[in-house]
């Protein structure tokens, strides 16, 4: 799901990790310094910021993009980039689809349920 915020958009997505403390520790280590080619690719596609949070084996990603970001173009360019494909294949060792993730997908959009800014003041 994306929310428009002026000139940026926010995507909130979820994914699970393999329930193995050693693999989770390795996954977290990889994310201390992701490969420079992957970071460069993300920035070139209009991703302004990306944060990943973890609770147990559930991951939650917040991705802020430029207004021009196009997820279909991002997906296509990611699949065309050998280093990004290598990174994604490596990360899949640690990741698992959530029970609600469509077959063949990884990160799945979360539904927005609440926004304090959208609440009517009384």
Beta bridge partners of 85: none
In a domain, 117, yes or no: no
Confirm if 119 and 35 have CB atoms less than 8 A apart.
no
What is the count of structural domains for the chain? 1
- Residue 20 is predicted with a pLDDT of 98
In a domain, 118, yes or no: no
In a domain, 7, yes or no: yes
User: What is d(CA 19, CA 45) in angstroms, rounded to the nearest whole number?
Assistant: 31
CA end-to-end distance (rounded Å), the chain? 28
Here the CATH number for the domain that contains residue 29 is: 3.30.70.100
Q: Look over the chain and give the mean of its residue pLDDT values, rounded to a whole number.
A: 94
The rounded Cα 64 to chain-centroid distance in angstroms is 10
Domain that holds residue 43: 2-111
- Residue 117 is predicted with a pLDDT of 85
- Residue 50 is predicted with a pLDDT of 98
In a domain, 121, yes or no: no
Most distant CA atoms of the chain, gap in Å: 54
In a domain, 48, yes or no: yes
In a domain, 120, yes or no: no
In a domain, 87, yes or no: yes
pLDDT > 90 in the chain, percent: 87
In a domain, 122, yes or no: no
């Amino acid at each position: 799901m994306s929310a428009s915020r002026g000139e940026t958009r926010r995507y909130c997505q979820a994914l699970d990790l393999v329930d193995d403390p050693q693999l989770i520790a390795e996954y977290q280590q990889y994310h201390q310094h992701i490969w420079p080619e992957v970071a460069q690719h993300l920035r070139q596609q209009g991703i302004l910021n990306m944060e990943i949070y973890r609770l147990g084996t559930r991951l939650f990603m917040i991705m802020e993009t430029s207004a021009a970001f196009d997820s279909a173009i991002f997906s296509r360019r990611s699949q065309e980039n050998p280093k990004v494909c290598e990174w994604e294949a490596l990360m899949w060792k640690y990741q698992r689809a959530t029970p609600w993730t469509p077959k063949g997908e990884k990160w799945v959009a979360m539904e927005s349920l609440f926004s304090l800014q959208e609440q009517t003041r009384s």
